[in-house]
Chains A and B, each alone.
Chain A
């Protein structure tokens, strides 16, 4: 069982790293919020949160940030930025998961807190609160991205991957 867990976590991490790297070449709306991305790698995080637990998804997310920094952006300020956003988003999602919200709502909350986490880390790093002016745009733009990620994660979960894996073994 332990081997299976390690394999699953590493496979999911690999998928989210690949998505994040491909995605980092496409930024849009640079004039409003610099470096805005869809955050498609979070599909894996939402999936892991629902299929496994908080610890697994946190592990995948932190490893993703470290690996993506290693191969693409480096361990500069971007690293702390991404790490802050990722941790904030997962903690928020695991907290609201227990409420009546569906997976789409949880994903929207995660997306919003990803933005809030980044703004907070940005304010701390720059020691200056002007980053907060991005907040209204970030809040608004995280709704469509959150909904999109929630819907995709829901589709993936509906295939019942755990069952597929168990069948393969026989």
Chain B
């Protein structure tokens, strides 16, 4: 490793730190979770109620579980089951993304401006 290698590593670390701080500044720990299929909200979940929900993903049913204000994907059909391995989340900076099923679960506040497209 020479000097310019070290420089590029430092730049990347700074970029990572910077983006991490920005994402944490804009994050919201709301009481609502939004379930997206592609870019459409298909389900809005109240995180105060412990309950299980089932939505239709691209490859089949996706079972979503809410427990103590946390949300996770309990069961889904996909090649590697990555989004159920991801476990619980409670903040908007850690969305759950099921790429094979085209399902995204994001925690947010009351009004989710990002979800509206005119």
Which residues of A pack against B, CB within 8 Å?
Answer: 27, 30-31, 34-35, 73-74, 76-78, 81, 99-102, 104-105, 108-109, 112, 122, 125-131, 133-137, 139-140, 142-143, 147
Contacts and interface: CB of A to CB of B under 8 A. Distances in A.
Contacts, number: 104
Interface of B: 1-5, 8-9, 12-13, 15-17, 19-20, 23, 36, 38-39, 79-80, 82-83, 85-87, 92-95, 97, 99-100, 102, 104, 106, 114
A170 B102 CA distance: 56
B16 A128 contact: no
The A interface, classified by DSSP as helix, strand, loop or mixed, is helix
Given A126-B104, A128-B104, A139-B15, A108 B9 contact: yes
B19 A27 contact: no
B99 A109 contact: no
Nearest to A33: B86
Contacts of B3: 100
A34 B1 CA distance: 30
A127 B39 contact: yes
A101 B4 contact: yes
